[in-house]
Amino acid sequence: MITKDGHSIAQRGGWYPIRKYPEMGNYIKDGTTTDYDWLGFIPFEDRLTIVDPKAGYIVAANNRGT
């Protein structure tokens, strides 16, 4: 996105869970207890934000090709 004053900005959207154990997404967990429940979500202001990258562009490779 380009702002009205000419800055290039990209910010990660969506909700990202805060996990008790960082490796939680790497294997199947026991869902019968609350041991592996999410603790909340990363606050909006702490999400990945890029403003005026030195390279002059932003690249994302997580979209399906056409």
pLDDT, one tens digit per residue, over 9-65 is 888 788 888 888 777 667 788 889 888 888 999 998 888 888 898 888 877 777 676
In the chain, domain spans:
1-66
Q: Which two tokens stand for residue 39?
A: 């603790």
Q: Which residues of 5-35 are buried (b: 16+ CB within 10 A; e: fewer)?
A: eeeeeeeeeeeeeeeeeeeeeeeeeeeeeee
Amino acid 4 reads: K
pLDDT of residue 13: 80
pLDDT of residue 14: 84
pLDDT of residue 66: 61
pLDDT of residue 20: 82
Q: Phi and psi (nearest 5°) for 24? A: -55, -35
pLDDT of residue 49: 85
Q: Which two tokens stand for residue 66?
A: 């056409």
